[in-house]
Structure 1
Amino acid sequence: MHETRLATHLPQTVEPRNPGLALDLDWVMRATANRSAIERRAATLPGRRSVKKDHQAAWLARAVSMIDLTTLSGDDTEGRVRRLCAKARQPVRADILEALGLEGLTTGAVCVYHDMVAPAVSFLEGSGIPVAAVSTGFPAGLSPFHLRLAEIGESVNAGAQEIDIVISRRHVLSGNWQALYDEMRAFREACGDAHVKAILATGELGTLQNVARASLVAMMAGADFIKTSTGKESVNATLPVSLVMIRAIRDFHDATGVRIGYKPAGGISKAKDALTYLALIKEELGDDWLSPHLFRFGASSLLGDIERQLEHHVTGAYSAAWRHASA
């Protein structure tokens, strides 16, 4: 029970904030990525790591506590957000949680557009579950800079305790690392006490080397988390991209002692995929990162498949996927 309650703690109350550091262009330019080696390493993960029975159920329950339960649609309504927040409070059917001894399990956060922040905060009152807001002209990040800063402030004032910002991809594609650093630093300052996740939109950065360098610059500028994608790109979270970003996090921690969180988002919809990502985190970063304050899944449909697998573990029977809708 104590461990499940930890899932509702805000990251900044568990892990020290990233203060950032001066832009080190020598370090940034030393960052490279051997695509063939990275892809070979990533390809070994799904087939080599397997957990079964009670161990699998425990890992899947841990994955639930790391989900940023998300709705980012143009037709979002307060009713949909209310249902999503109810699912965040009780992500798995009560009888299944009771059988597993995991009463009190919740998701890591609820992630919404700015207009839905205030309703989400209201619906989650007393739960300890933070609201995350996508911001800075999500998903393209092409609105005027002063409006992107103002949007952060509006979401923080509305009660968002986590802000998922999007970077300007053009700074990465043109190699303008100073501009990316300055932008990210300004976003970090605008967030104040709110936890900041930097969305790199890796599917639009061109190369894995660009992903590695953008990851480092975002962390130097003060990002508390780095996140793969908005979920709106044609290519979202992948294992090779994740490996590059995770190793950048490891290098940053080795150099500074600061732990940065990681959030893969977009395209992760199956329980088996969640297990693969958790195995990657354990192998590359260690057990310290297997907690909601340092790892999140940006997902919505993933929860339904995990609940289905947990029901199978308890009852021995698979139910239809439609019986485990997120909202």
Structure 2
Amino acid sequence: MAVPSITRSDQGLPAALADATRDETALRRFLHGLPGVDQVGAEQRAAGLATRSIKKASKLWAIDTAITMIDLTTLEGADTVGKVRSLCAKARRPDPERPDVPQVAAICVYPDLVPTAVDALRGTQINIASVATAFPSGRASLAVKVADTESAVEAGATEIDMVIDRGAFLSGRYGQVFDEIRAIKAACGETHLKVILETGELVTYDNVRRASWLALLAGGDFIKTSTGKVSPAATLPVTHVMLQAVRDWHTATGELRGVKPAGGIRNTKDAIRYLVAVHEVAGPQWLSPNLFRIGASSLLNDLLMQRRTQLEGHYSGPDYVTVD
């Protein structure tokens, strides 16, 4: 493994972590030396936390917090300029009748639609995320992946969601995956990098833990569960494992890194379960869009309907919110 020159993530790391990036052998030794994940324990804890109830005042706070964490996403082959503009309008003003509803964290689109989002979101603090690196397969040359990233950044993307080569990871070519993340991070410059693990294809929780640490060692600002194109996408137990990784990274290094579950989170009840997991597994410091995001397309509508219910005392149907 040809490790690129030292970057931000190497400086000041504990010796054990710095040594892990020295070469392929050291990286493999480190990743396979991580504690194994107790599958039964992880799933039982996730199920237990999912039963937590939240009272009315806290539920309204949770709904608004979840809204601020949404990466409002459209990643379809049929996406158009008009659809992206409509989604950006919704991001700016989620509920047109209620200006107190917070804005979402970001819009997530394909690279060719970044200029449309930049124009539509001008003057706001909403981030513009773009998928890159041969999304969703991750099967392309490094040169193509870097060019894809640079194109999105030059167009105005403030966040890049890259996808790892799962074939390389599952074949044990950890150095290749590490080098690609490093190269994409370099291409991002100051743009934040989210590393998509596609956990549904990683098979085991141990692999999810290894991939999480690999992405963190390589400089990813966020680790993300899924492209949303593979089933299963985000799950609570997998998200628990990833939250443990960023918590332990912070304990070891003092650096804060984020987590983004994406795909399959469609209603308020699910969103609140993820917020409970963040609080209990990583800690309350992660209850911020700077450190936790939810990749979603349909979730926002349900959050808005449930918010109206909390404030008005009766259920508001989908006719009261804009259609994506």
What's the TM-score once normalised by structure 1's chain length? Answer: 0.90
Task: State the alpha-carbon separation in 1 of the partners of residues 322 and 269 from structure 2.
Answer: 18
Match of 2:9 among 1, 5, 20: 20
Gaps of at least 5 residues in structure 2 are 1-6, 11-17
- 2:228 is the counterpart of 1:231: yes
**Is the CA contact (8 Å cut-off) linking 2:70 and 2:106 kept in structure 1?**
yes
The one of 13, 35, 40 aligned to 1:36: 40
Deviations 1:17-36 (Å, cap 9, x if unpaired)? x9323425343222221111
2:248 alignment partner, one of 222, 246, 251: 251
Q: In 2, distance between residues paired with 1:312 and 1:133?
A: 33
1:303, 1:326 within 8 Å by CA — same for their partners in 2? no
Q: Which residue of 1 aligns with 2:15?
A: none
Choose from 280, 284, 307 the match for 1:310. 307
2:13 aligns with: none
Q: Separation in 2 of the partners of 1:236 and 1:118?
A: 28
Q: Matched residue of 1:198: which SS?
A: strand
Q: 1:301 aligns with which of 284, 298, 303?
A: 298
Matched, 1:269 2:269: no
Q: Which has the higher contact order (CA 8 A, sep 6+)?
A: 1
State the SS of the aligned residue for 1:273.
helix
Shift of 1:171: 2.2
Query: Structure 1 vs Structure 2: percent identity of aligned residues?
Result: 47
Cα distance in 2 between the residues matched to 1:158 and 1:321: 35
Out of 49, 74, 79, which is 1:76 matched to? 79
Task: Indicate the residue corresponding to 1:54 in structure 2.
Answer: 57
CA RMSD of aligned residues (A): 1.4
Deviation string for 1:156-210 (max 9, x for gaps)?
0000010000000012211222121111111111111100000000001121111
Partners of 1:45 and 1:225 in 2: how far apart? 23
Amino acid at match of 1:273: D
Displacement over 3 Å in runs of 4+? none
Which of 75, 92, 97 lines up with 2:95 in the alignment? 92
1:222-248 superposed Cα distances (whole Å, 9 cap, x missing partner) = 000000000000210001111111111
- Cα distance in 2 for partners of 1:270, 1:211 equals 25
**Structure-2 separation of matches of 1:114 and 1:291:** 26
Counterpart code for 2:80 = T
Partner SS for 2:8? coil
**Secondary structure of the corresponding residue to residue 130 of structure 2:** strand
Task: Provide the rounded CA distance (Å) in 2 between the counterparts of 1:141 and 1:176.
Answer: 14
TM-score (norm 2): 0.90
Conservation of the 8 A alpha-carbon contact between 1:282 and 1:289: yes
Instruction: Quote how far apart the aligned CAs of 1:326 are.
Output: 4.7
1:204 aligns with 2:201: yes
